[in-house]
Amino acid sequence: MNEQTLPLSGVRVLDLSRVLAGPQCAMVLGDLGAEVIKVEHPQRGDDTRDWGIKVGETQTTYFNSVNRNKRSVTVNLQSDAGRQVVLDLAKQSDVIIQNFKFGGAEKLGIGYQQIREVKPDIIYCSIAGYGTNGPEATRPGYDLVVQGESGLMSINGESSQPPLKFGVAVVDMFTGMYSAQAVLAALYSRQRTGEGRHIQMALYDCGVMISSYYGLESLLMKKDPPRFGNAHPSIVPYGVFDALDGRLVITVGNNSQFQRFCCDVIDRQDLANDPRFATNLERTKHRTELLAEINAEVAKRPRQQLLETLTAAGIPNGEVLGIYDALSSERSAQAGLLHQYSDPQAGDVKVLAPPYRFDSHRLPLRRPPPSLGEGTNDVLQDLLGMDDHQISALRSDGVI
């Protein structure tokens, strides 16, 4: 698939954001074919260039996770010349993404109204911690804080343990994805109307959205729903089980599957005949008694044997892998989920590939995560028409 056939080919995105939610949004657009220009501080770059494990000279695993398919341009936004560079780039862009602190973009002269003066049909996406018109507008947004405030931590983990954060920054990541959806809708709207939009996203709003059916259940019950850890709140047996030599997932989704599970997998006809377990509603009521029997049976058998008998019985299942084993698996390799590129300092480096497939083809990784400022000269020359003397002067003044 060449660049001209990518869904967002011809769309230019100016990514003024940093850390995770904003960069995730911009990366999604880049994965779909947009040209993404990431603007960073000339010395330190994005904060995440200092997070995680170092890769090469200016990259890290954290940075690389949300910055593929971008170019890096370094600009000092505190300077008048730097602000002018951004305004000039904005004139030639379709989308701007920013997540400055409340009022920060306006103070720098690159807020929505200021950008709109030079680019009336701009699609401008602002990402904040909380609603910009509410009483908490000035509060900074942090994923872990919002996980706590939105109730997400209260539904995660085992009932015997205290509230637990998710293993990755889910609020940031979902906010980035929701923001990308909004940008796509605004691009479609602009095609019909010719008008730009100001999109305003909040981490707290998106954190609440992630609560999904658990959130609705809590409102109905007027209390927190119970936590079931790796088990399902409404389906039994359905969860993670310990076999003789490893963990596996078993998902018995209906009554006929339960009959086959008892008879063909764990050889317990008595459980299949027990009226306490005849339907899922009854199994849920008698969850503790049933799971005690099932856990004992599963623990006697090797994992591979269980995987094979479950598959033969038509019951969905899978092994529980560590993340390294999962990413190193033949399944991931066949799916083309990893892309390897060569870094001058780090050598061969792997990065996740875009998850999107169009017409049976995975969208390509056109650019690996950029080193700090790798695209500064080319972008200023190609888009703004600057010559070597002008670029050298900006660099001497600390603007780029």
Q: What is the spatial distance between Cα 367 and Cα 168, in angstroms, rounded to a whole number?
A: 24
Residue 366, Cβ neighbours under 10 Å: how many?
A: 15
* Residue 235, Cβ density class (10 Å: 0-12 exposed, 13-18 middle, ≥19 buried): middle
If 0-12 CB within 10 Å is exposed, 13-18 middle and 19+ buried, where does residue 70 land?
Answer: buried
Residues whose CB is less than 8 angstroms from the CB of residue 328 and which lie 6 or more positions away in sequence, other chains included: none
Spatial distance between the Cα atoms of 372 and 59, rounded to a whole number of angstroms? 8
Q: Residue written as tokens 């220009």? A: 37
Annotation marks residue 172 as catalytic: yes
Question: Of the residues 80, 172, 242, 325, which is catalytic?
Answer: 172
- Residue 391's contacts (CB-CB under 8 Å, 6 or more residues apart) are 376, 377, 380, 381, 400
Say how far apart CA 111 and CA 161 lie, in whole Å: 44
Burial of 255 (0-12, 13-18, 19+ CB in 10 A): middle
- Positive or negative, the CA dihedral 179, 229, 274, 293 is positive
Active-site positions read 172
